[in-house]
Amino acid sequence: MRVLIFHGYLLRGTGSNVYNAELARALAAAGHDVHLLCQDRTPEELPFVDAVGEWGGGGLSVRAIDRVRPDGWGSCTVYRPDIGGLLPVYVADRYEGFTAKTFPELTDDELNAYLAANIAAVRDVCAAASPDCALANHMVMGPYVLSQGLSGNVPYAVKIHGSAMEYTVRPNPRFLRYAVEGLEHAATVLVGSTHIAERAYDTVKIEGLEARTFLGPPGVDVSRFAPRDRAVARAGLSELADRVEALPRRGYGPGAARATTALYGRVSGSHRDSYESVAAQLSEFHSGYDTAGIDADAPDALRALASVGDAPVVLYVGKLIVSKGVDLLLAAWPLVLRRNPEARLAITGFGAYREGLQMLLAALSAGDLATARHIAAGGRAFEGGPADSLGHLIAFLDSLSGDALIDYVSAAAGMRGNVHWFGRLEHDVLADLTPAADVQVVPSTFPEAFGMVAAEAAACGVPPVVADHSGLAEVSRQLEAKLSGAMAALLSFRTGPQAVPQLAARINGLLALDKHSRADLAARLAEVSRERFSWAGVARELTLAASGDHRTLRRP
C-alpha cells in the first residue's frame, strides 16, 4: 500500500516523534511505500529514509538517497513542507532552526499561513504519490490538514497522542472546531488507552465517534530494546560514550551550569525574587543554548555510569518539564539512598525545567528544604512559565519532622554526586543505555496517552515503576498480569500526598529482589512486550485502521 502520514514535527526526541519514525520504518519493512510529512531538518540521517522531498521556487522536488534494501522492503520518502520559520507547538519549548510558539500564542494570520502551507503540501504529495490511505497525528492540526488536503478522496485515520488534546484543544475553545472537523471525516480514530478515548469523547462531541474509536498504542522495536546481561550492558557504556562524543553536543553545558548556580544562589539566599523574575531569567537562559540538545558532558556522564560496577542504577527517560513529575523522583532519591547508598540516578531528556530540577537537586543535596519548598511553590515558574505550585512535592516536604527529617537530610547530603545527566539522547542510544539500568521510573503527574518508555524498559527486562493513572496505568496492568500480586505491586505508585514515599518504596522493593527473582521478573516483562507491543503488529493494524477496516481492531 501507499501510506501518507502527516506528523508536522521532528522524528526524534519526544514520544510522538519517535512513534512516527518507528511506524514509518515498520511500514517500509513490511513492504509498504510511506510518504511522511514532517519538519525534521535532517531526515536523510535516518536509515529507513529513501528520499527527501522539499518545496522550492519550482514546487515539490524529491531527492533520492542511495540505500540498499532487502527483498520485500518498501520505501519511505520524507517531505518537509515550507512553513517558514514558525513552528506551532503544544508545550512551550525551543527547537533549533525554528521560532516555536504555542498554538494559543498564534495570531489568526500565523495560524492560517501554517495551515495553508501544510494543506498545499498534502495536495502536492497526493498528486505525486496517489496514496491509498493516510494517517494524521494529534487532535490538531493534522486531522484538519488531511480533511482539507485529501478532499475526501483518500480514507484516513487519526492517532490521538494526548498532548494536543490536553494542552491545546481542551483549554482553548478557539481550536475546537479544527479538532471536530478533522475527526468528523476520519475513517478511524486510534487511542493509546481507554483513558485517552474517554478524554476524547468528553472533548469533542461528535455523533458516532465511539463507534470509530479503537486501540492503537505505540510499539517497541523488540529487536533493539531487548534483554542483555547487565554487566555486559554496563561495560558497553564506555563505547556508547565514544559514540555520543562524536555527536554535536549543544545542550546544557558549563555556561548554563554557571547561570543556574548563580540563580540558585540568589533564590536560596533570600527567597525574595519574584517568581515572574525567575521565569524571565530562565527564559533568557534558554536562548543561550539548545535546550533540546545533548549535554556537553554527556560522554563523561556515561563513562562515570560505566564505572559504578554493581551499584544499582535507576533511569528516567522523558522530557524535563513540570508535568513529567521528575521532581517527585528527585525528592524520593534520598529515601532510596538510605537503603542503597551506592545507587545512581541517570536522567536523560530535555526541556525547559532542566534548571529548575538542577536547583531542586542542589537544595535537597544541601539540606536546604526551605529553598526546596520555595522552588516547589513556584512550580512552572522554574521552567519559565507562570507560578503553579507542585502540591505533591510540598505535601512530602511539609510531612518531614523529627527523626524522619534528620534522616532525610542526612541521606540527601551530597546526593548530587549520585545523579548523572545526559540531556537528549536519541532512540538508538537509549536502546543501549536502558539494559544497563536496574529500574526505570515514569513519574508523570499529567495524563499520558501511553507509556511507551515503560514498554521499552520492559522489553529490555528492566522493571518500570509508573504513576498509576491514564495510559500509564494501562501499560502497567498488562505487565502486572504476568506477575504475582506482591511483584506486580512494585510496578506502580499513586500520585498524591504520599507519592514520594510510595515511589521510593517501589524502587527500594525492586532493588531488594534476589538474583533469581530479578531474572524471572525480567523474562516475564520481556515476554509481555514481545506479545503486546511489537511495531510489526502496530503497523499492520494502522493500515487496517487508515483504510477503515475495523474487523480485527480492539476497542478501548
Question: Is 247 in the same domain as 151?
Answer: no
Strand order in the sheet with 464-467: 419-423, 344-348, 313-317, 439-442, 464-467, 492-493
The whole-number pLDDT of residue 218 equals 76
Residue 269's pLDDT is 86
The full DSSP string for 95-120 is: -TTSEEEEGGG--HHHHHHHHHHHHH
Q: Hey, what amino acid is at 449?
A: A
Within-domain flag for 554: no
Region 245-251: what's the mean pLDDT? 96
User: What total of structural domains would you count in the chain?
Assistant: 2
DSSP 74: -
Taking alpha carbons only, the member of 182, 56, 28, 42 closest to residue 119 is 182
DSSP string, 472-499: HHHHHHHHHTTS-HHHHGGGEE--STTH
Amino acid sitting at position 476: S
| Biggest CA pair distance of the chain | 74
**Is residue 270 very low, low, confident or very high in pLDDT (cuts 50, 70, 90)?**
confident
pLDDT digits (tens, 9 = 90+) for 192-210: 888 889 999 999 999 999 9
Residue 477 and residue 352 share a domain = yes
| 232 pLDDT more than 90 | yes
In a domain, 556, yes or no: no
Per-residue pLDDT tens over the stretch 414-459: 899 999 999 999 888 999 999 999 999 999 998 887 788 999 999 9
Under the phi-then-psi rule, with left for phi > 0, alpha for psi from -120 to 50, and beta for the rest, what region is 148?
alpha
C-beta contacts of 234-239 below 8 A and 24+ residues apart:
234/305, 234/306, 234/308, 234/309, 234/436, 235/306, 236/432, 236/436, 237/302, 237/303, 237/305, 237/306, 237/432, 237/433, 237/436, 238/302, 238/303, 238/306
pLDDT recorded at residue 273: 78
Task: Determine the average pLDDT of the residues in 134-153.
Answer: 97
Q: For residue 203, which of 220, 233, 178 has the smallest C-alpha distance?
A: 178
301 grid coordinates: 556522564
Q: For residues 543 and 547, what is the distance between their CA atoms, to the nearest angstrom?
A: 6
CB 355 within 8 A of CB 362: no
Letter string b/e over residues 209-223, b meaning 16 or more CB atoms within 10 A of that residue's CB: beebbbbbbbbbbbe
Q: Select from 196, 201, 233 the least CA-distant residue to 216.
A: 196
Check whether the bond before 452 is cis (ω within 30° of 0).
Answer: no
Residue 553 lies in a domain: no
Residue 273 phi, psi dihedral angles, 5° rounding: -60, 130
Question: Quick one: pLDDT at residue 427?
Answer: 86
Q: How does the average pLDDT of the chain come out, rounded?
A: 94
More confident residue, 146 or 161: 146
Please answer whether residues 454 and 405 qualify as being in contact, where contact means their C-beta atoms are separated by less than 8 angstroms: no
388 and 407 together in one domain = yes
The amino acid that residue 412 corresponds to is A
Same domain, 465 and 538: no
CA distances from 471 to 129, 370, 476, 483, 497 (A): 35, 34, 9, 19, 21
Residues 6+ apart with CB under 8 A from 171: 104
Q: Give the predicted TM-score (pTM) of the model.
A: 0.77
Q: 225 lies in a domain? A: no
**CA of residue 472 relative to chain centroid, distance:** 12
Q: Does residue 187 contact residue 156 with C-beta atoms inside 8 Å?
A: yes
Contacts of 478 (CB under 8 A, 6+ apart): 528, 532
> pLDDT value at position 151?
94
Q: Is residue 191 part of a domain?
A: yes
Confidence at residue 484, expressed as pLDDT on a 0 to 100 scale: 82
Per-residue pLDDT of 9-23, as tens digits, reads 999 877 789 899 999
> Is residue 224 domain-resident?
no
DSSP state letters, 405-427: HHHHHHHHTTGGGGEEEEE---H
CA dihedral 512, 516, 517, 523 (to 10 degrees): 130
Could you tell me if 383 and 403 lie in one domain?
A: yes
Return the axis-axis angle of helices 230-245 and 298-306, rounded to nearest 10°.
Answer: 160
Strand order in the sheet with 51-56: 59-64, 51-56, 75-80, 33-37, 2-6, 133-137, 156-160, 188-191, 213-215
For residue 553, the SS3 value is coil
Are residues 139 and 54 part of one domain? Answer: yes
Q: Which domain holds residue 12?
A: 2-219+534-547
pLDDT band at 554 (very low <50, low <70, confident <90, very high): confident
Residue 188 and residue 242 share a domain? no
Residue pair 392/495 in contact by the 8 Å Cβ criterion = yes
Q: What is the pLDDT of residue 194?
A: 87
CA pair distance 333, 343, nearest whole angstrom: 9
Query: Do 200 and 91 belong to one domain?
Result: yes
Whole-number percent of the chain with pLDDT over 90: 85
Which pLDDT value is given to residue 77? 98
Looking at the domain assignment, is residue 419 inside a domain?
Answer: yes
Q: For residue 449, what pLDDT is reported?
A: 72
pLDDT digits (tens, 9 = 90+) for 53-99: 999 888 999 999 999 999 999 999 999 999 999 999 998 887 878 99
Same domain, 271 and 209: no
CA-to-CA distance for 105 and 75, rounded, in angstroms? 37
Judgement on whether residues 286 and 185 belong to the same structural domain of the protein: no
492 plus 478 within the same structural domain: yes
Listed range (27-36, 90-99, 242-251, 303-312) with the worst mean pLDDT: 90-99
The whole-number pLDDT of residue 7 equals 96
Alpha-carbon distances, residue 152 vs 32, 182, 187, 530 (angstroms): 22, 11, 10, 37
Q: Are residues 250 and 118 in the same domain?
A: no
What is the spatial distance between Cα 365 and Cα 410, in angstroms, rounded to a whole number? 9
Asked whether residue 437 is assigned to any structural domain, the reply reads yes
Helix (H, G, I), strand (E, B) or coil at 348: strand
Q: What average pLDDT does the segment 243-263 reach?
A: 96
- pLDDT score for 271: 81
CATH code, domain with 270: 3.40.50.2000
